[in-house]
Chain A
Amino acid sequence: MKIDRRNFLTLGGSLVAGGVVGTTLSPLPWKLMDDAAIWTQNWSWTPVPTDGKVSYENTVCTLCPGRCGISVRKVASRAIKIEGRKDFPVNKGGICILGLSGLQLLYGPTRVKTPLMKTGNGTFKTISWDEAIESVSAKLNELRSSGKSDSVAFLSDSDQGVTAGLIKRFLKAYGSPNFISEATFKDAYKLALKKMQGIDAEANFDIDNADYVLSFGSGIIEGWESPVRMIKANSALKTRKAKLCQIEPRLSMTAAKADKWLPVVPGTEKELALALIHVILKKSLYNKDFVARNTVGLDKLTQLTDSFSPEKVSGITGIKPEDIMALAADFARASHPIAICGKGQGNTPESMTQIMAVHTLNTLVGNINKKGGVFTVSLPDYVTWDQPEMDETGTTGNSKDRIDGAGKGQYKDTMSLAHRLAGIVNAQGKNPVEALFVSGSNPLYTFTDSIAVKKAFEKIPFIVSFSSFMDETAKMASIILPNHTNLERFEDVIVSTEAGKSAIGLAKPVVDPRFDTKPTGDALILIAKALEGSVAEAFSWESFEACLEETLGDKWEELKENGFLENADSAIASNNKIDFSALTDNGLAAIEGDTANFPLTLIPYDSLRLAHMNIGSPPFLIKTVEDTVLKGNDILVEINPKTAGKLNLSEGKYAKLKTPKGTVNVKVHLFEGIMPGVIAMARGLGHTAYDDYLAGKGVNFNELIGPVEDPASGLDISWGIRANLTKA
């Protein structure tokens, strides 16, 4: 046969084809591949958890202000599961998604393992506790001896309990008035009680026993107040066939589970509340006996609400006049009605007008300090140490004005104005903050206008973080003095339970500390002991635990044994009459942005599946986030299909979201449950710190919004901002 080109190709082709067919039909490669696959399954990639003796240890979860009792299941020394504690008065066995994920925080890779110090090139180096305490005390001694003790500020997430007490005592002895704590709607409510009744009391909402709940946007089942207690209360509402009316522009889960959802134009809730008062007064639906005995200023209230007729307010709020009338009647005629406020999880304060209007509604129906109503409670206070001996520097320092302007003039009753920190530091002229200590707080993530906050932190020469985790703020610190995590330390907590009762709880270590960390109380005592002047004398305790034991006195043993002490020395503070004339209308607290450039309103929404305060979401939480909220690294914003249609936006498409504070890329999610003209964004995403399971996913809502001060309290009440959304 002549080998020409054609033959060559035919033959070659046949050989190749034959080879392929032969190999394919032969079982050998398939068998080998299958064997290889099976063989690799035997590689020891999959861990085999070690067995051991099982035990359960009780403590209190302090990951959020809810304070649930938890039971930690251990195998030998490992903690393997967190469960709700059945006999704890707050949660009675239930537990939330964050509490359940606590072990991912304890054992996760975001822990700060030793004290760290920032070096010249911006990286951290490991230092010993001795070196760390020495560096911090050297700086503090230097500032104190140069008469600048009041340039030290301390930012804390809480002002309750022994650790906060130690911080306040530290600042006092050292000579600084700048103890700054973050405010929530509860602080604003406290302020309202002070203004209306002249009492120092905490509001406790007995949803547990109410038969009609009128909620101005409070996410009762989305983390408002104590999340588990409130979810339980909501289930109890269903069982009792009690009613819940939810007023907010978006169909939140609370709205979805409510008996009635009234979508309101965002920011006009207070007008609605005033209109309800108007109707209740006009129709004489209020509890005359209670009002006559316990209040003054009814004439002023009538005068103030006179112009808030349902017809007029309907035009502002978008709620029909007849719905307003019906709502007022339903509320006033229920036997245990309660009105509540604090949007979403209630982590942002509300305007004084809004809160006083809500408290007025509660007062008009006479449901104050009664089952199913609002209890005004003075919480147990066991931090009763002798005043520290003051030297001259201390006395002078304390007589200076606070940097945030709280506690004097028109804001004399406001404790702290934390949101002003960035503005003060960034203002022209000298930065008044030479050293900032941050405990239990992550302002770089949680404060509004986070870009300005970052700029301010860059200007503060010395920042000390006590964070257990490498969060955004810790990353900016000069020195990190890592705290034990909540499962490794003692911590006292005060909890509110149903019907206005309170309890003291004690979180205790359930595992040995994993790393070279110390409780913040211990770090403070060590720093104080290394300071000059009279500071050291004010801290005679050997350790934080010793201090706790002494402070809790006869309660200590029982707390250590049981974990909580019910019916603690709380009392109902209600002797003074409630003065309606304290309620004034401060006008609209306008949100930022003009309607021409920013035709839409951007609001945040809270969910238990995304932690958005001082703790970043662990991987388990992120895993439960729906793909209509986060897809890959893109955040989706909710918009009504009608509005989207006008803007030529469709489901899942990229868009540019612009507010007066910043511009970000987002994806669009069409949702019928949101008012046209409003965009909603989840809070809790957009972290730049923590691990790969959280960092870089989505957008931090706080970057898009700035503080808006309530004229009556000075607190940041920003609930949204004007925005524009365009096709990307």
Chain B
Amino acid sequence: MKENHSNDKANKFGMVIDLDKCTGCGACMVACMSENNVPFKKDESKKLDSITWMHLYRLTNKKPFPDTEVCYLPRPCMHCEGAHGHPPCVSVCPATATDYDKKTGIVSQIYTRCFGCRYCMGACPYHARYFNWWDPVWPEGMENYLSPNVSPRMRGVVEKCSLCFHRYQLAMDKAYHEGRKELEEHEYQSSCTQACPAGAITFGDLNNPHHQVHKMVKPSKHGGKPTATNAFRLLERLGTNPKIYYLSSKEWVRRLGDNYLPEEKTGEIGNHQPKGHH
């Protein structure tokens, strides 16, 4: 789907993650793995080849005892819009295996088109993409729990968070069946959002002023930069225009969200968006 149908309103699905509430419990990671048939290996401690669409980063303020602070940061795919729907990964894909859907704002990944060049992995500044170095192997019996909604991936392809796109499709099927073209806020929620016991993840349409996500971060009309207090995006400076927003009351956490120069004030990065394409 390249352009909007004129009679459909474009959505921009995204998340707001409240880092003050996030406990680092790991439920989002597993909710994602079990929803999306993400495989596992006997040794998952080599994190470079461990596939975690939703990944929890542990941040510290690097201060010595007892002034140390720690904060977890869940990182799904940022579903960057870039400028005018050109995320870094989509721009480099030679196989059109990943694309920006202007109807939903979701960056797709089509496994059967991907031939594993991994340009997208190099282009993604968030390390959100993972390569299948091996075919997935489930121990005997465990194939029973695989979901038919998401195809298991084969060796040699890249995979990443889809914002549970199949859930969107199922919700839209139901809506169309009932003669609607729009979804209610609760009808489409990602698996991690649904599972989070802390209620730290909020999911919805950033274009819809009635949705929680919009109210929480108040994205600016151009470039989507949050205008709410304590809200920020990762690597705002790059102009990737991501749809995952974070909230933190701690300044050191917000500063770790970007490469700040010592004299730069927290939150000022990205106020002057470069014009045009990157």
Contact = CB atoms under 8 A, between A and B. Distances in A.
Contact of A49 (B42, B45, B50, B148): B148
A608 B25 contact: yes
Contact of B151 (A48, A106, A631, A640): A48
Contact of A81 (B23, B34, B60, B135): B34
B197 A96 contact: yes
Contacts of A620: 30, 33-34, 40
B144 A107 contact: yes
A78 interface: yes
Interface stretch (A390-398, A668-676, A708-716): A668-676
Nearest to A47: B143
Interface range, A side: 35 or more
A228 B58 CA distance: 21
A101 B148 contact: no
B64 interface: yes
A266 to B, nearest CB: 14
Nearest to B151: A48
Contacts of B58: 626, 628
B142 A693 contact: no
A553 interface: no
A109 B140 contact: yes
Contacts of A107: 141-145
Interface in A83-114: 83-84, 91, 93-97, 100-101, 103-104, 106-109, 111
A706 interface: no
B29 A624 contact: yes
Contact of B155 (A41, A52, A622, A673): A41
Contacts of A674: 65
B139 interface: yes
B147 A624 contact: no
B30 A97 contact: yes
A100 B34 contact: yes
Contacts of A37: 156
Interface string B47-76: 100101000101010111110111110000
B202 to A, nearest CB: 12
Interface stretch (A231-239, A281-289, A356-364): A231-239
Which of A47, A95, A623, A625 has most B Cβ within 10 Å? Answer: A623
B92 interface: no
Contacts of B34: 81-82, 100-101, 103, 620
B183 interface: no
Interface string B151-169: 1111110000000000000
A100 B31 contact: yes
B146 interface: yes
Given A221-B23, A263-B66, A234 B145 contact: no
Nearest to A672: B68
A183 interface: no
Contacts of B43: 632
A619 interface: yes
B44 A623 contact: yes
Nearest to A252: B70
Given A80-B145, A676-B65, A46 B27 contact: no
Given A81-B191, A256-B71, 4 more contacts: A37-B156, A41-B156, A106-B145, A609-B26
Interface of A: 37-38, 40-41, 45-52, 75, 78-84, 91, 93-97, 100-101, 103-104, 106-109, 111, 221-222, 227-228, 231-232, 234-235, 238, 251, 253, 256-257, 261, 263, 514, 608-609, 619-628, 630-632, 640-642, 671-676, 691-693
11 contacts: A41-B155, A49-B147, A79-B145, A95-B195, A101-B30, A227-B197, A608-B27, A622-B40, A623-B44, A632-B43, A673-B68
* CB-CB nearest 9 A-B residue pairs: A94-B197, A49-B146, A221-B23, A103-B145, A256-B70, A673-B68, A672-B68, A624-B26, A231-B197
